[in-house]
Amino acid sequence: GAAGMPVYQAMVPRLVGSQLLASGVALQNLGMMASMVIGAVLGGGLIQFLGMDLSFLFWAALMVLSTLLFFVMSYDTNDRTQSNKSLSSLIPDILAGIRFVFSNEPLRSLTLAGCVMGFGGGAYQTLVPEIGRFQLGLDAGMTSLMFGLMSGGMIISTLFIASRKNLTAKGRYLLFALNCFGPGLMFIGLSTSLWLTFIFLPLWGLCGGILMTTQRTLLQESTPSDVMARVMSVNVFASAGLLPLSAGVIFVLRGFWSAGESMTAIGLIVTLSAITLAATRRFLWKKSL
């Protein structure tokens, strides 16, 4: 998944025109979010009724099925612009992509925003099961519903973006959603009310869908086509690659605080980071707003 995601993301600008880029990114995100909802609900239900062992067997069977599907798909083998490159050029290419991103605005600011998203998202994925079980008193099935409710809100806002032929003021949407991300984590960490949390999650998910779609749309709009795959690789690393860092910080925090208190602390870090980005990355906001 991590290896394929930059490829899938880099394909979108080639498949849709620049005027429909936001819609294309939104539609691709919709597929991912739908799988998150189905996977969360299905996974929680399977664990509840079948147990952990059989649930992992079911997951393994799905992985085998998805692998087999790759063999029956048709591929365009004519477009191999970089297939002749040797393995020895892989690391220099990666470093060149990182240098390109961090030496150009607004790519640098958008990638830093992706880092904030990845750090906070990693905390959410890590701590929600524990918060659901011990802070809200939920079983595995109901805890998985927390992921489903947030993803449902993300789907709604992403559908809205996909329906807009020419979304303007994407930077404004991004700035608003990014500064809602941290307070949302803090709310979930502090809340002890089941129903209040369940009502809040889809509303917070609306901001999540806006954040994911606008960040990547602005990134792709600002990236030349010949380095699109490299920039998307850096973007995936900025989000998914920070999960271990987030887990490491949580490991330290859990030595002193509960899961909810740790989530609140992570939310405060994300909030301060978002405010810092908004205050210091004026080039990005001036260009995007």
Which pLDDT tens digit goes with each residue over 100-111? Answer: 998 888 888 899
> What was the pLDDT predicted at 284?
58
> What was the pLDDT predicted at 260?
96
Q: How far apart are CA 166 and CA 184, in angstroms?
A: 29
> What was the pLDDT predicted at 202?
95
Phi, psi of 150 (to 5 degrees): -65, -45
Q: How far apart are CA 7 and CA 30, in angstroms?
A: 17
Structure tokens at 218: 């602005």
> What was the pLDDT predicted at 255?
92
> What was the pLDDT predicted at 271?
96
> What was the pLDDT predicted at 195?
94
Reference 98, options 230, 243, 236, 240; nearest CA is 230
> What was the pLDDT predicted at 123?
93
List, in order, residues 6 or more apart from 151 with CB less than 8 Å away: 33, 36, 37, 40, 205
CA dist 103 → 109, 222, 287 (Å): 10, 13, 16
Q: How far apart are CA 228 and CA 23, in angstroms?
A: 18
Q: How far apart are CA 38 and CA 40, in angstroms?
A: 6
> What was the pLDDT predicted at 249?
93
Collapsing DSSP to helix, strand or coil, 222 comes out as coil
> What was the pLDDT predicted at 33?
67
DSSP H helices, the chain, are 5-15, 21-72, 90-102, 107-130, 140-162, 170-190, 194-221, 228-240, 243-253, 259-280, 282-288
User: Per-domain residue ranges for the chain?
Assistant: 5-68+106-288
CATH classification (class only), 5-68+106-288: mainly alpha
Low-confidence ranges of the chain (pLDDT < 50): 81-83
Collapsing DSSP to helix, strand or coil, 3 comes out as coil
Count of Cβ atoms closer than 10 Å to residue 1 Cβ: 8
